[in-house]
Structure formats: C-alpha cells, structure tokens
Structure 1
Amino acid sequence: MSPLAIFFFFFFNLSLATNTIYNVQNFGAQSNGKIDSTKAFLSAWGSACASTSASTIYVPRGNYLIRNIYFNGQTCKSNAIAIHIDGTLLAPSDYNAIDNDGSWIKFEKVNRVSIYGGIFDGQGASLWACKNSKKNCPKGTTALAFYNSNNIVMSGVTVQNSQMFHILVDGCHNAMIQGVKVLSPGNSPNTDGIHVQSSSGVSIMNSNIGTGDDCISIGPGNSNLWIEGIACGPGHGISIGSLGWESQEQGVQNVTVKMVSFTSTENGVRVKTWARPSNGFVRNVLFQHIVMSNVQNPIIIDQNYCPNHESCPNQGSGVKISDVTYEDIHGTSATEIAVKLDCSKTNPCSGITLEDVNLSYKNGRAEASCVNAGGRASGFEELSKCL
C-alpha cells in the first residue's frame, strides 16, 4: 500500500468515527428504480453540507433513478462527508432524458468526500448503439465526475455501462480510488474506465477495469500518480495521452504503474502524443511488474498519432518524452512486434530503460522496433539492438 493510501485510510476512518447520518429515503427517495429521486439526493446532500461536523449520506438497498445531479461543495460547513451506498443508482435508459452537459453525477469543489460501496449504472447501451450505427448522436456524459476537489476517497464502488467516461478526476489533489470495478462491453465506444487530468496525488489501486476504451487514461497536467494492482481487460490498456493537441500544454510527470495484468487488450502500457507542435512533456515514468496476456501492443510509444491524417500531417510531435522505465514486463503478445517505440523526429525520446522485458509471440520471442529512441536495454538481443 502506498503512503498516500495509508494516510487516507486512517484520516477518513478517524474523521468519520462520529457523525450524523442522513438516509436518502427520509428525504423522499424511492427504491423502485422508476420514480425520479434526484431531488431527494440533493436534499440529503444539502443537509449533510450544512452540518458543522462529519456526516454520512446513506443509500439503502434498492434501485434509485437519478437524472443529472450536481453536488457543489463550495459552501459546505461539514468537515467530512461520507456517502455509504448499499443500493444501485440508475441513469435513465433513454439518453435524451439526460442533459448533455458532460456529467451524469458531478462533484465540484468538494473537500474530504468519500464514497463507499454501491453501483452507479449509466445505462449507456442505447447511446452506444446510436454511435456504432454512425448516426448523429450526442457525445454522451461521464458517469461520475470530480472537478476541482481535494482529499477524495472511493472504495468498493462499481461504475458500469457509462455513456462515455466512467470516472473522471479533473483538477483534483489527493484522491484515492481503491477496490473499484469499472465494467462495460469491449465494443462500447469512448467508455474510458478512469480518466485523470490536471491533477496531483491520485492513487488508483486494487481495481478491475474492463471497457471499450482505455482502462485508465492520463491526460495533460498530471503529477505524482500511483497506479497499482489493476486487472485491465477488455479495453485499450493504460495510456498516457493523447497529449500535445495544444501548443501550450502542461506535461505529465512522476507516474508509477505497477502490478498490472492486461488480458486481450488492444494495448498494454502506452504513451501517445499528437504529431503537432507543443511544449508538453512526459518524464519520470515507471512501468513495473506487469503481465501481458494476448495483448496486441504490449509496450508502445506513439508520437505520430494523427487519425485520418487530419490537422497534423507531416509534423513532428513537440512533446518531449524522457526517463521512462519498463521493468519486469513479461507475457504474450498478439502481434509480432511487442515493443514499439515510435518517437518524435523533432524531439526524440531519451532516457528509455528496458530491463527484464520478456515477451513472446506464438512459439517464439517477439520483436522490437525503435525509431528516434535513445536509452539502454538489457535482456534479449532484439531489445539491445532497438536502443
């Protein structure tokens, strides 16, 4: 367990030892999954916020229909709010019934909020079908979003079938996400499991994630991220990026990804940047103790990302990648080239370390391909030649 995880465990259990409990059913919430309970949840939140001590919002067993809901913590007096959920929160199955404002359930400017247990079901199947049929569909909403918040804990939560991202952490500091399940079919479009951007001190631990897009995606402006004990699949792997769309963009630094298993995913560990000018960077990243099982691209740096050759043809990525370490990574690749480092022609990767990387393809050893990449490698000969 990381030092941050230990801190949060004791910090929140101490603060919530004595508190007032607000049962959403006492505010009118109905557990039949048919009657809109949004106002009841907001009323419970208002009472918890007004408390001058720690408080708990309790959601009993049952199904609770929730439309868009916005929890604003800017005026909260409570020094800690726990949300203990034994039931299931349901989004409307008709995507037109949700305002397309980006989030289904949104927390903003909250401090010391913790969510324990429960299921958040975005019921996104109808929107996925619309998107997969290439009709003119709305973008969709993130199921559970935190904006500009501090000291957040999520534990034992299941988030499933989101229209788009399942969990979003944006502009937050010190967040612990542990023991969660994120579940959507492999063909559900744009359903990233957990997306983190513009945040620091975020830990994601001991969780199972299977989606139609990245299990975990790391956007610009992140620092001091700790990702450990993740089972990923189906999905597109764990990705830093896409970075470098903006010419002026914050970088990503101090990221640890360890003890992760990837099963039949499109990618394993990936760094992806647009082939556009940018001042962004990726540095001090460790990928360690990782198992690949039938992964199409186990290790990949793609700095020439340019879908359909639009907005970035024949340009080099301005994002500078340095000091990235791959250590103790083994298993099977679904393609012959298991290590592909395709770095920027204008800003070559530097300080790449490949140590104890052992990946096989069919009955033999997989291949490696490196372009504009510098560093050192130990292990099989193909890696040594690559760098």
Structure 2
Amino acid sequence: MSAPRSTVRTVTVVASCLALLAALVVVGVRVYGREPTVTLLANWTGEDQRNFEEAVIAPFESKYHIRVDYQGSSAESQVLSSDVEAGTPPDVVVLTGPGELAAYVRQNQLKALEGLIPKGDFSESWATPIDGHVYWFPLKADLKSIVWHPGGMTGQQVRDAARQPGQWCLGMGSGATSGWPGTDWIEDILLQQSGWQTYQKWARGEIPWDSDAVRNAWKKWGTMVGAGRKPDDLVRRALLTDYQDASAFVTKDPRQCSLEHQASFIRNSSDSWKRVDGQYVASSRLLGKGDSEAWEVSGDLVALLHATPQAKRLIGYLASAEAQRAWSAKESGFSVDAKVPLETYEPVTAYRHSLATTLLDRRAVHCFDASDAMPPTVRDAFAQATIEFLARPGDLGSLLKSLDTLGRKPGLTWLPSVCDRVPPAD
C-alpha cells in the first residue's frame, strides 16, 4: 500500500531541508577554515591590502582551493615577534627588513626556499643567500634614490629649491617605526657621495658610524632640512607630521614645500602628488655628484615559517611571474622578477615605466635599504637617532658613538651583501 500523499510530501520536504543543511555545512566548513588554510602576515592595509587580495590572493584561492587567512598590520614586526614568542607564528610572512629576517634564520624560524622558487629570477640584493641558502624573495620593490617635485618645475628650479631647507617636505612619523624617513636620507646621501662600496661596508657593520663618510652624510642631511635652526618651525613640522602626510604641504596655497625625498610608492599613495602631477629626478643630482649609477632600493620580502603543503604552494605562487605581474599591474609596487616584462607598466603611466626600467637596469648597482638590512636593534636605534639629531644636531657625536657601541655587541647578524652589480646578459 502506498504511503499517504501527506507523508510523501513531508518526506520530500525533510529531504530537501537535509540537502540544504548539508550545503550550508559545506559552506560553513570552508568559511570557518576546515578546508586547507595558510596564514599570511604582511604590512599592507587599506587600498594596498584590497589590491593584494583582489589581484593576488583571490586568484590563488580559486586556482588551488586553499584559503588564505590574511592579517595586515603596520606594526607587523611587533606582531611577528609576539607570535614567535608565543609559539604561534604565521605560515608565511612579508617583511621589509632582510636584517630582521636574517635574525629569524639564526633562530631557526625560517625555512630555506630551494626548490620552491625559480632560480635566477631575483638577484642577490633581493634574495640574499645566508650560509648558502635563500630564505626570502621580493614580492614588491620600490626605488628610493629619487626626489619628487610638482610637474612643470624646471631642472634649475628643482636645484634651487634643494638648497632651501623650507622647500623640503619631510614627515618623520610612522607609529612604532618613526624616524625611518631620516634613515633613508642619510643612507642615500652616503651612497651618492661615498659610493656603493663604502655604503655596503657600512651596512655590513665594517665601517664605524663615527667615520668621516658617515658623519658627513648626517651633517649634509641636517644642513639640507634645517636641523636645529631657529626658529624651529621646520623641525617641529617634520617631527609632528607622519610621513604619508608630508606631501600635503605641496598643495597648500601658497605652497609650503616643493620637494620630497621619498620612495616610489609615495606617488601612488599620495593624493597630493597626484594633484600636482608629481615627477621625479634621481637623487644623485641633488645629493651627490650627479652621475651615480647606484640606487637605493627597498622591498617587501616573502619568507616561510611553516613548510606545510599549502604554505609551500603559496610561496611558489607568490614567486611566480603570474603573481608578480598581477601585483605590479595594480600600481601598488614593482616587481624585480626577471620574467616580468616592462610592458606590464606601459598601459599605466610613463613615470611607472621609467621607475621599473631603473629597478631592472642590469648596468646599475642596486643597494638594499641599509637600515632595513641591519640587525633590528641597530635599525631601531638608527631611526630614533635621526629624530634626536633633527632636534639637537649638536648631539651628533654622542649619537654616533652610541650606535657604534650597539653595533659591536656580540650575537648580531649582519648580511654578507646589500649591493649587487649584475653583468649584462649575453
């Protein structure tokens, strides 16, 4: 005897509900991380984070069915240190400091990347070997040996402005890492005035802070930006202004500054430079001898802490030309992967193509940001010293001696090299 129609209807409804519940469970499992997951810590927030997630992470998740649990923090060094101490570090981290990463290598926290990233795609200034192994590679690169100015300024006007402390847009604030814009200045002046060999020896801890070359770089910076001069309006403005807000003074009426020594990323992240059609010149024309082939560079470096299958898959993907090209096309940075063509930047703007050309120029010397390459304790003390020097330049001698004392402490890890000159390909 067949079941009553009402019973059949009830069974059908129950079956449909169970099917819907099963589907919801599958969705819930994916949402709450029961599918393969890799944790990633980086410093990108705001628009950069959105660009990274849309251009890089979303395609990875779709292609490999691996979820990326992304954490963006402007205090990533402090977050990573805390996580490592607690025994809960992320699987993959992106840091700006190879010196900091080298310290984690010594603590046996990082995994070597041989077999995970293509050989020859990144030069040694970007993927510096430690004891014969590579532990990081760049996902994003920037050029630092440049000075921005409003479009329409002539070369002579730029040179004249560079001799006036009030024409420099300078902001020293950056939260827990305040002071780094000052370190960029001093590093670049040393590079342009004393050459890349001296720069590299200093970045490796082989030249004293109290040497003539380093001391003169500090003094030149102080003179150019008006350190300690009275009235101290310029110094006060620099100390109270965050680096990302420094260019706002270029749009004031009347204009309160016209030049900024800042990395290539500032042109895309600053509405002020967009409004005045910001252009750049090589810093060697204003800080050095004018014909230097050495450029200070920086990068966001990817490293592996847990060699899980999904983490290794993400490492390989981030090192691929596919991911490097996608990230660069979003205007959040540049790739120095030899397989990413310059045509990647042509549809965007001429200035980006020019910057990319310099970053990939095999005839030039590229030197990684020296403070980022130094041991973290020295890097942090250097940044703090620039703030103190800006307010009290007469204390330079004691500041340099303190840095020398700190740099001689045992147990510090110094990189074997920060500069490279790659011979042109045959």
Q: Which of the pair is proportionally richer in helix?
A: 2
TM above 0.5: no
Give me the TM-score of the superposition, normalised by structure 1.
0.23
Whose strand fraction is larger, Structure 1's or Structure 2's? 1
**Radius of gyration: which is bigger?**
2
